[in-house]
Amino acid sequence: MGVLISSPKDGIFLSMDKKLKIGVVCICLNPNYWSFAPEMLWGLDTFFLKHPSIRDKYETEFMLWSDIPEKPEEIQQRLAEFLVSRGEAKTSLVSQEAVEILVEPSKKEDLVRQVNSLLETKKRVKVFPTEPIEWPMPTLMRYHLFLQQEEYLSQFDYIFYIDVDMRITDWIGEEILGEGLTAAQHPMYALRQNYQPPYEPNSKSSAYIPRPGRIIEEDGKKKFESLYYAGGFQGGKTEDFIKAMKEMRKNVDDDFTRNYIAIWNDETHWNKYLFNNPPSIVLNPSYIYPDSLVAEYYIKLWGRNYSPKIMTLTKKFTVSKEAGEAVSKMLSI
């Protein structure tokens, strides 16, 4: 007979005879995202419910919905084509039917390392082969993709989604485990006073939330409840998260019938669901902390109240300075 351990914070009871099964799901479509997968796997292996004091209580599996090819030469070809699209490699006409991709020696060495890293990652994770689709479909259709594997996902006690282009930098512990859904505050709106969140403004959308949202009373004064949740880290108990995914999938499909996409894609639908079904765990922006290139703008907003546990990464194909300036302008700081 197992010994029952209770967690006074969230009332979870764990049996010492059985590890809780935790599933972590990511989408990794198109070569511009592939390079993030090995680092995400390292972060999960190192920090995600892996602290020595708790790691024996959990069994974690990383699942990847990806279009990374099976053969090394196919991976290298796709990566080389991506370099051409970014102007970092050139093509040379070989015949009317074929071109050769010309890659600098240093870039070629990088390609070989990336190929080997991706092959090793694929050996260690559960990969669901997925056809590449253009932005914003990989993020907007995430719930459709995950629910194609509903039977497989149902084996887990908890499921968490995390953007593949993030870096785990510190211990992620039992504070993420609650009795329902887990959501992380969006860094742009954390600690802002009486700020109306950017909910879906179009009444035709299934994600629509009437303005001004929810009004609460604090210290005798009425104000907006300015909780707005990031889409990059979310999850919870499997039963609750699958239920949420099914409703959000339906809402996305309903919007498609109206030829409409919600203002912030899946994040907008996530916020609409949580507006009606509040999460049991609300995490601060430490779990979706902006990377160093734009963090200074957020620190002006909320001081040094948070330290990074999961950092969003500025992708190589985005202009970091412009991103930071855009954030600064939006915050009027």
Task: Report H helices in 258-291.
Answer: 265-276
pLDDT digits (tens, 9 = 90+) for 117-132: 888 888 899 999 999 8
Residue range 97-120: mean pLDDT, rounded: 71
Residue 186's CB is within 10 A of a number of other CB atoms, namely: 21
Q: Which residue has the higher pLDDT, 209 or 53?
A: 53
Residue range 292-314: mean pLDDT, rounded: 73
Residue 62's CB is within 10 A of a number of other CB atoms, namely: 21
- Domain covering 18-67+130-331 in this structure, CATH number: 3.90.550.10
CA–CA separation, 23 and 28 (whole Å)? 16
- CA end-to-end span of the chain, whole Å? 59
Residue labelled with tokens 């190192």 = 46
What is the predicted pLDDT for the residue at 97? 47
Q: Which of 69-78, 82-91, 111-120, 148-157 has the lowest mean pLDDT?
A: 82-91
Record the pTM: 0.83
Q: Which of 5-14, 98-107, 264-273, 292-301 has the lowest mean pLDDT?
A: 5-14
CA–CA separation, 35 and 85 (whole Å)? 16
Query: What ranges do the domains of the chain cover?
Result: 18-67+130-331
